[in-house]
């Protein structure tokens, strides 16, 4: 699964600023899109199709026969009329949902959790400051012909019309007591769009505008809005999140000072203190450092399955269940990485032994241990006061103001750390990263520029900044010079010769290849719609040279000079008077133009 589903819950329970722990695979269910049988009495505007294509300047989508895509073939005569929304047969309480969404220019829809609480679907490509009515917004409530509440996305993360956009949502249903009285409002734990968090922990006091009902319930179906505009969905997956009861009993502790390092050493001496406790608690250690504390007890689990234990502490620590190692002896510190391990447990009672040896004088004292299973929230086995407040790392950002910002760094790309990367941020809020060794564009994004915390905070060891917007990953990330004889995605002999700043203070990169000089200029396109790239070539050999302007798993012509790249993840646009070639290379497709004095194209997303 693409998301770290339960990191939000672990963050709140363990109070740590750096989450890097093992996760259980969530048991995701698919809504079958071979037909409409997963939906309750679908109206005629809903259909299953096999492919959808769009353009960024078109108010319609083109569909073809087949299966796998849910399509609202909206017509204006049904606008705002009852009976055209689509309801799942599955009812839900707490739920995680992820899906891909496509809207054409100007279109509007929504996903209503429990048919009552809307996450907005809208073509918001041209929105500069998102509101609750924009893509990914939590829509407003409505009373006396006035809107109220509503939550705007924290960041701009929307893509152009006609592109597939990925959304992930974790929703918590309202809670009711035995009499049916509501005791807790519904909550969106998080909403993510194209990998960017738009909302966290947003309570909704009641149904949002245009909901299917005004009352509130523990369980109800998802509703897809069908009376507002054309929209398509695919890869609809969900997990019904469970509350589960885990109990502990008979917990005892033994506390040792004088820098006892292991439980084996501790057994040879008398404990400084010992006794019973209701939960794991770091406050039972009276010293700040050089101590060992050990907890023994019983754990009762409600079902036979795999359980994940996650912990945070300073020093060395270990967890055993029924004498089996679950978290092996591990050294870490509070605020550093979480440590975790999983084990299959039968329903019923099990013994556990958990110990921590703190010998890191500069590190904060605190102990946390939690348990979870697939499709559940985490349950803390420690006293909340066992974990002190941990200061979050400061956010160090780079913001272009009146002129472009140019940052050299390492950067992670496709699970590989590249060493010669430059990131260019523009005041127009369109940015990119570029591999200087190959003259290759790696990624591009909009909105805020660069998070440089890992470059400058404390030791700045990773030296890897990250985009602050939702990046499109340019899959190949390779050289624009195309030679089919090369068997790898790089060109030998392509020599970096530095860059110069043009009148707008944008870098013009320079390379030597054989007897040619290549210059590469990347600049904002049409007030932030994308990037314009101009590659100029001079010297001997131009007639035999091809320029690679895209490489991906799929390249699909969708209009005059317009190509959808990588299953409609972004667009490449060339002049309609130019006719690129599409070839197969390394099991991928490449889009090629013959070299001339100047090759220009646009990347639009």
Per residue, the 3-state secondary structure of 399-459, as one string, reads CCCCCCEEEEEEEEECCEEEEEEEEEECCCCEEEEEECCCCEEEEEEECCCEECHHHHCCC
Closest CA to 419 of 445, 398, 442, 403: 442
Q: Which stretches of the chain drop beneath a pLDDT of 70?
A: 1-23, 25-26, 485-490
CA distance 41 to 332: 55
Q: How far is CA 461 from the centre of its chain?
A: 24
**Could you tell me if 284 and 356 are in contact, meaning their C-beta atoms sit under 8 angstroms apart?**
no
CA distance 417 to 301: 42
What is residue 443's predicted lDDT score, i.e. its pLDDT? 97
Using alpha carbons, list the distances in angstroms from residue 112 to 116, 134, 603. Answer: 5, 15, 33
Map residue 465 onto helix, strand or coil. coil
Residue 546 CB coordination number (10 Å): 19
CA distance 141 to 143: 7
What is residue 435's predicted lDDT score, i.e. its pLDDT? 96
What is residue 337's predicted lDDT score, i.e. its pLDDT? 84
Two tokens, residue 298: 């019983």
Two tokens, residue 472: 């499109």
Closest CA to 57 of 206, 209, 163, 150: 163
What is residue 487's predicted lDDT score, i.e. its pLDDT? 56
Residue 61's region, left for phi above 0, alpha for psi from -120 to 50, else beta, is beta
CA distance 290 to 20: 26
What is residue 406's predicted lDDT score, i.e. its pLDDT? 98
CA distance 300 to 320: 15
Residues 6+ positions from 465 with CB-CB distance below 8 Å: 398, 407, 409, 411, 423, 450, 451, 452, 454, 455
Paired strand residues for 370? 310, 380
Using alpha carbons, list the distances in angstroms from residue 289 to 60, 306, 338, 569. Answer: 66, 35, 20, 52
CA distance 586 to 503: 39
Paired strand residues for 197? 192
What is residue 15's predicted lDDT score, i.e. its pLDDT? 35
What is residue 421's predicted lDDT score, i.e. its pLDDT? 97
What is residue 486's predicted lDDT score, i.e. its pLDDT? 58
CA distance 583 to 94: 47
Q: Is 305 exposed, middle or buried (0-12, 13-18, 19+ CB in 10 A)?
A: middle
């Amino acid at each position: 699964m693409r998301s770290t589903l339960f990191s939000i819950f672990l963050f709140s329970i363990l109070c740590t600023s750096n989450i890097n722990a093992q996760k259980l695979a969530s048991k995701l269910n698919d809504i079958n899109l071979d037909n409409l049988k997963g939906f309750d009495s679908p109206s005629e505007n809903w259909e299953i199709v096999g492919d959808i294509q769009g353009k960024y300047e078109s108010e319609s989508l083109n569909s073809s026969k087949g299966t796998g895509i849910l399509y609202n073939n909206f017509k204006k005569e049904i606008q705002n009329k009852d009976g055209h929304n689509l309801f799942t047969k599955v009812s839900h309480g707490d739920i995680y949902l992820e899906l891909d969404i496509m809207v054409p220019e100007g279109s509007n829809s929504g996903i209503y959790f429990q048919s009552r609480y809307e996450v907005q679907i809208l073509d918001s490509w041209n929105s500069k400051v998102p509101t609750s009515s924009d893509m990914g917004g939590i829509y407003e409530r409505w009373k006396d012909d006035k809107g109220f509440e509503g939550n705007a996305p924290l960041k701009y993360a929307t893509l152009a019309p006609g592109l597939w956009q990925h959304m992930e949502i974790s929703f918590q249903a309202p809670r009711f007591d035995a009499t049916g009285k509501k005791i807790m409002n519904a909550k969106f734990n998080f909403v993510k769009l194209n990998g960017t968090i738009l909302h966290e922990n947003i309570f909704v006091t009641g149904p949002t505008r245009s909901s299917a009902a005004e009352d509130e319930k523990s369980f109800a179906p998802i509703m897809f809005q069908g009376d507002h505009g054309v929209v398509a969905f695919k890869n609809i997956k969900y997990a019904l999140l469970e509350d589960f009861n885990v109990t502990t009993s008979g917990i005892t502790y033994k506390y040792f000072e004088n820098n006892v390092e292991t439980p084996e050493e501790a057994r040879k001496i008398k404990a400084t203190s010992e006794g019973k406790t209701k939960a794991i608690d770091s406050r039972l250690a009276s010293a700040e450092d050089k101590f060992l504390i050990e907890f023994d007890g019983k754990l009762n689990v409600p079902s036979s399955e795999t359980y994940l234990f996650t912990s945070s502490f300073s020093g060395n620590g270990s967890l055993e269940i029924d004498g089996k190692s679950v978290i092996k002896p591990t050294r870490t510190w509070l605020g550093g990485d979480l440590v975790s391990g999983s084990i299959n447990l039968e329903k019923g009672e099990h013994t556990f032994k958990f110990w921590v040896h703190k010998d890191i004088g500069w590190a904060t004292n605190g102990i946390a241990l939690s348990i979870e299973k697939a499709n559940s929230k985490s349950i803390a086995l420690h006293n909340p006061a066992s974990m002190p407040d941990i200061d979050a790392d400061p956010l160090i950002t780079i913001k272009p103001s009146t002129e472009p910002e140019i940052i050299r760094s390492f950067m992670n790309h496709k699970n590989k750390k590249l060493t010669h990367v430059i990131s260019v941020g523009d005041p127009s809020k369109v940015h990119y990263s570029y591999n200087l060794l190959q003259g290759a564009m790696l990624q591009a994004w909009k909105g805020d520029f660069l998070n440089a915390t890992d470059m400058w905070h404390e030791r700045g060891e990773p030296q890897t900044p990250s985009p602050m917007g939702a990046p499109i990953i340019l899959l190949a990330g390779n050289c624009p010079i195309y030679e089919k004889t090369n068997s790898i995605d790089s060109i030998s002999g392509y020599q970096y010769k530095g860059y110069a700043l043009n009148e707008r203070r944008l870098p013009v990169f320079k390379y030597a290849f054989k007897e040619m000089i290549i210059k590469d200029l990347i600049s904002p396109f049409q007030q932030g719609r994308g990037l314009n790239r101009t590659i100029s070539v001079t010297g001997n050999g131009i007639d035999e040279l091809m320029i690679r302007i895209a490489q991906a798993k799929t390249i699909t012509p969708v209009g005059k000079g317009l190509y959808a790249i990588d299953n409609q993840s972004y667009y490449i646009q060339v002049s309609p008077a130019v006719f690129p070639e599409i070839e197969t290379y390394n099991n991928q497709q490449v889009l090629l133009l013959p070299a001339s004095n100047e090759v220009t194209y646009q990347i639009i997303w």
